[in-house]
Amino acid sequence: MLLALTRSVPPAIVDCELTHLAREPIDVARATTQHKAYEKALASLGYKVRHLPDEPDLPDSVFVEDTAVVVDELAVITRPGASSRRAETFSVAQALSAYRKLAFVEDPATLDGGDVLCIGKGLFAGRSERTNDDGIAQLRAHLAPHGYSVDAMSMRDCLHLKTAVTAVSDSIVLVNPAWIDFPGFDRIEVDPSEPFAANALLTPKGVLMPSAFPRTIARVRKRGIKVKTVDASELAKAEGGVTCCSLLLRVQ
């Protein structure tokens, strides 16, 4: 079974962390409606959606991707780079312990799940304001015994590695070349007018992308990849994309 762990939009999201965007008012009701549509989209892509406990006072708690890196053998609970986000991990660890052995990223390391891209047994970890070299080293140490490689990557001008590049099939990446050099893979480049379009969520039934990026979506479809779209515009004001609102895992 495919499982998606999600968490509802907290009222405190109006005070979310922002790194590269100017603060704009966030309509919590609208964000919640969009988040529900996102969960529905995940269900239509074959996922059973399970809700993590609400964290109404943790502003970025809807962005659950950043709290863990989950592979078939293990879940690595992160230590988010923003100290305001560290308390998000407790309930995630508890929920994941039902499905996976756990490992933990520990001080002085920091790591956000948004900085980790998995392509098969190859992982790429972005050095960012949130993820440091200790974080990447600890991730590597936890995963190497299970046959995973972890390559450190550098980006520019964006929050997370997966703001700049994601996988849209087993072998094709969707990339914003202004923010990262990502050689070695067949690639689709985002339309230059849609810099945030590189964040797509890969599922076995196709990719999920924000409807705000029609030009890039057309490029992905042209390569024969199925694309489902959602309106994620309100969560985008909190610097979130489609990968950040879920943790996806295979369970028995």
Classify strands 116-119 and 149-154 as parallel, antiparallel or unpaired: unpaired
End-to-end CA, the chain: 6
Q: Is residue 65 a contact residue for ligand CIR (CB under 6 A)? A: yes
Which range in 14-22, 100-108, 137-145, 206-214 contacts ligand CIR by CB under 6 A? 14-22
Considering only residues 78 through 117, tell me which ones interact with ligand CIR, judged by CB under 6 A: 82, 85, 114
Work out which of 38, 47, 63, 148 binds ligand CIR, going by CB under 6 A.
63
Binding mask 167-206 for ligand CIR (x = CB under 6 A): ----------------------------------------
Q: Is 66 in the site for ligand CIR (CB under 6 A)?
A: yes
**244 lies in the site for ligand CIR, by CB under 6 A:** yes
Burial readout 39-65 (b: 16 or more C-beta within 10 A, e: otherwise): bebbeebebebeebeebeebbbbbbbb
Q: Tokens 């590695």 belong to which residue?
A: 161
Q: Is 158 a catalytic residue?
A: no
CA distance 178 to 199: 14
Query: Site size for ligand CIR, by CB under 6 A?
Result: 17
Residue 9 and residue 35 in contact, taking contact as beta carbons nearer than 8 Å? yes
Residue whose C-beta lies closest to ligand CIR: 114
Tokens 């339309």 correspond to 191
Please work out, in degrees rounded to the nearest 5, the angle formed at the alpha carbon of residue 169 by the alpha carbons of 122 and 195.
Answer: 95
160 as an active site residue: the answer is yes
- Kindly state whether residue 240 participates in binding ligand CIR, applying the rule CB under 6 A: yes
Minimum CB separation of residue 115 from ligand CIR in Å reads: 8
Cβ neighbors of 178 (< 8 A, separation 6 or more) are 156, 157, 192, 195
Minimal distance in Å, beta carbon 188 to ligand CIR?
19
Q: Is 238 in the site for ligand CIR (CB under 6 A)?
A: yes
**Which residues contribute to the site for ligand CIR (CB under 6 A)?**
16-17, 19, 60, 63, 65-66, 82, 85, 114, 160, 238-241, 243-244
